[in-house]
Structures are given as structure tokens and as C-alpha cells.
Structure 1
Amino acid sequence: MDRKSVKVVIAGGFGTGKTTLVGSVSEIPPLTTEEVLTQASIGVDDTTGVEDKTSTTVALDFGRITIASDVVLYLFGTPGQDRFWFIWDELAQGAIGAVVLVDTRRLDTSFAAVDYFERRGIPFIAAVNRFFGECPYTEDEIRAALELDPAVPLLWTDARDRASCKETLIELVKHAMTRLPVPG
């Protein structure tokens, strides 16, 4: 069997659930670079809306999931704070696409990730992380707030739920495949 390895980026703002998603769906123990938030981050990291957050990714999260007998996804989670954005270029290199996690409590934290992938022409989907069940906004309201192109899929996920995250990743792969050049 000829197995295909595919690189995927999990991106989004600070506290949107990237580490949680990678950890919940990875079939191997995920590699994380979580560090405790300290007094030094006060005034640097905006914890508005995520006041209970006690740690943060400082480099990347890494996991792996087999989504078909011949397709393995390698997951690279980005750090969310702007001071670590320089790492995104390395993590996105060679990726077929990205999942931009959206926290509707703080929609503005997703703007930079959407812009990043749009500017680079990297296929992405937006996935609303349903941290607390229901979402207070409609799909149209979220699309308008994020200024999403109609061709960008928007779906609902729960970063804590393996099945939900797996479906999100499958949707990303399907979307990315529609953007691949046709071999000639």
C-alpha cells in the first residue's frame, strides 16, 4: 500500500483550542510546547474571555492521525500569540491546508489567522469551536465578522471531541483537494 503523508496546520488566536484539538484527535501522544502563564505575561497576553487559561503554546503542537488506510495527517498546531507568529511561516511550509479555530467569545482573535492563510493562498477552513455547546451567532454572522470568502467552508466542531475533530480534518482535506492543480 502506498501511504500518503499530508501536513496540516491547526491555527487560530490565543486560547481557541488548538492544543486541545491536536491532543483529542492524535493517535500518538501529542508533542506539546505548553508553558505556564506567569506574571511576565500580564499586559502581553490578552486573557480576556479566557481568564482561567493557565498555560500556552510557545512553539508548536504536533500529532498524527490516519484518516484513511492510505492517508496520514501530520498536525502542526501554531502558537496563538502574535509574539510567536514568526513560527507560523515554518509550520505552514509544505502544508496542504489549515484549520482556523474560531472562538465566538473572541472573534477578533481569529482575524489574523484568516488573513495569514488568505494572503499566502493556503487553503483553509474556519471551524467554530463549541466550547460551551451552543453558539450565540449564526453562520452568516460569523462569515460576515470574519469576512470569509463564500468558498471557504465554515463548520462547527468541538476541540475536545475526537469524532468532531476528525470530521473537521476530513473536511479540510476535501476542501484542499478542490484547490489542487489538475495534473496535465
Structure 2
Amino acid sequence: MNSARSDLPPQPDTLDAPEPSDAPADHDERLDGPRVALKILVAGGFGVGKTTLVGAVSEIRPLRTEEALTDVGVGVDDLDGVAAKTTTTVAMDFGRITLRDGVAIYLFGTPGQERFWFMWNELSRGALGAVVLADTRRLMASFASIDYFEQKGTPFVVAVNCFEDAERYDPPEIRMALDIDPHVPVLLCDARHALSAKQVLVSLVEHALRLAGGSSRRL
């Protein structure tokens, strides 16, 4: 795996809901809104599974801004390793998942193609942290996202989406290939499955809390 890095050019944001009322114990908190809302980005190269992860874990119908790939993108978009892909995210994906204790995570999937990277600055405003999805067949596609969040000082985890036809590597090997700091969590996941995707999100929240000196209690 290559370890070359590319040079490319988002802070906790929580919304406190009103104090809990005398609602019954079995009351569904989601009806009144979450006590805490967290914004998380799902980033990574083109075709690594960002839209799939958001769709797998979202408890609402995800918002997608996918458009068909056309001849206009020939010679502009890098389709190496994803030649079978026919659509691309041109703005963002959006979904929501509610964890325990009234913690809601709002997911914003970023566009992976270079010509849409101008969206990253807007999407990253107020984000608690980011998930950088990676594909071991095209690790270099992850460098732009990693560099971006490192430069912004945004907490992030690297989640390797284990495609069926991809070589398997252990997290320490992936960490070395991506040249990321020892404190950054590296996880293996299957973006198609909600449980796997949820564990990635929980790991990110716990990582961000540790960096902020907050509680490390599991969500």
C-alpha cells in the first residue's frame, strides 16, 4: 500500500433541549426532540461507501443528492477501481440516528470527487468530528480527507469499508500506510450493515469526547 500524502487545503456543536418533564418512563424521547444533537461528517474518496453508510444507519429516509455520471466527467473524475459506479453525490447525503439517553447524531456525507470539494467547508461548520471511510484498494483516495481534518483540527476516525474483493489488512498496517497519528482510531467496518456503521459512529463520539476531556461513558 502506498504511504504518499497529498497537500490540500471542520468543533463540537451541541444543542441542549429543555429540562426533562414528568413524562412516563416509556415515553419516546424522539417525539419531543433529542436532548443533545451532534453533527458528524462522513467523508472519503469517491465510491468508498459514504452514501451506503448514511443510508444503512439512518432512522429516517436519507436525503441524497446523487446524479448520474456523464461523459462530461470523463478525464476529470478518477474512476479507477469504481468503473461500475453510475452515480455520484454532488452536494451531500443527510441522515439521522438516535442513540441512548436522547443523543441524536445528524450525518452529513460529503461529496468525494475533487470538483465538489468546495462543499467541505460549509458542511464542516459546527461538526463534532468526522468519519473518513477508506478502501484498501484505493487508499490514496483517503489522503485528501485525512489532510483536511488534520489541518482543521477536527477529531476523526478512519473506518475501512471491507469490500468483498479487497485485500484484508490489520488496523496497524492501515495506520502505517495512511501515516496517521497513533491516537486516531482505525476500524474495520461493513458500511452496508447498520450495527457496523453505528459502532463506527459511537467510536468517533467517544474519541471526540476523550480529546475534549469529557466523559468516556459508552453511548
The corresponding residue for 2:73 is 41
The corresponding residue for 1:139 is 171
What is the CA distance between 1:181 and its match in structure 2?
5.2
The corresponding residue for 1:76 is 108
The partner residue of 2:98 within 66, 74, 81 is 66
CA contact (8 A) 2:69 2:86 kept: yes
- State the structure with more CA Rg: 2
For residues 167 and 174 of structure 2, the distance between their equivalents in structure 1, rounded to whole angstroms, comes to 10
For residues 162 and 172 of structure 2, the distance between their equivalents in structure 1, rounded to whole angstroms, comes to 16
CA contact (8 A) 2:41 2:130 kept: yes
Say which SS state the counterpart of residue 72 (structure 1) adopts.
strand
Superimposed CA distance per residue, residues 115-155 of structure 1 (whole angstroms, 9 cap, x where no aligned partner) = 00000000000000012176432322211111110000000
Specify whether residues 133 and 44 from structure 1 end up closer, same or farther in structure 2 by C-alpha distance, changes over 3 A only: closer
Aligned residue pairs total 182
For residues 144 and 112 of structure 1, the distance between their equivalents in structure 2, rounded to whole angstroms, comes to 16
What does 1:62-141 align with in structure 2 at a 5 Å threshold? Answer: 62-132=94-164, 135-141=167-173
CA contact (8 A) 2:162 2:168 kept: no
- TM-score, structure 2 normalization: 0.80
Q: Deviating runs (4+, > 6 A) in structure 1? A: none
What is the CA distance between 1:10 and its match in structure 2?
0.2
Pick the structure with more strand per residue: 1
Task: Return 5+ residue gaps in structure 1 as ranges.
Answer: none
What is the CA distance between 1:28 and its match in structure 2?
0.3
For residues 180 and 129 of structure 1, the distance between their equivalents in structure 2, rounded to whole angstroms, comes to 27
The partner residue of 1:29 within 55, 61, 65 is 61
Amino acid paired to 1:25: V
For residues 211 and 198 of structure 2, the distance between their equivalents in structure 1, rounded to whole angstroms, comes to 20
For residues 200 and 174 of structure 2, the distance between their equivalents in structure 1, rounded to whole angstroms, comes to 17
Amino acid paired to 2:152: R
CA contact (8 A) 1:24 1:161 kept: yes
CA contact (8 A) 2:44 2:133 kept: yes
Specify whether residues 168 and 135 from structure 1 end up closer, same or farther in structure 2 by C-alpha distance, changes over 3 A only: farther
For residues 73 and 133 of structure 1, the distance between their equivalents in structure 2, rounded to whole angstroms, comes to 31
What is the CA distance between 1:25 and its match in structure 2?
0.4
CA contact (8 A) 1:67 1:166 kept: no
Say which SS state the counterpart of residue 69 (structure 1) adopts.
helix
What is the CA distance between 1:92 and its match in structure 2?
0.7
- TM-score, structure 1 normalization: 0.95
How many percent identity over aligned positions? Answer: 58
RMSD: 1.3
Say which SS state the counterpart of residue 31 (structure 1) adopts.
coil
For residues 26 and 122 of structure 1, the distance between their equivalents in structure 2, rounded to whole angstroms, comes to 23
Task: Return 5+ residue gaps in structure 2 as ranges.
Answer: 1-19, 21-33, 215-219
What does 1:145-160 align with in structure 2 at a 5 Å threshold? Answer: 145-160=177-192
For residues 170 and 133 of structure 1, the distance between their equivalents in structure 2, rounded to whole angstroms, comes to 27
For residues 82 and 99 of structure 2, the distance between their equivalents in structure 1, rounded to whole angstroms, comes to 31
For residues 170 and 58 of structure 2, the distance between their equivalents in structure 1, rounded to whole angstroms, comes to 30
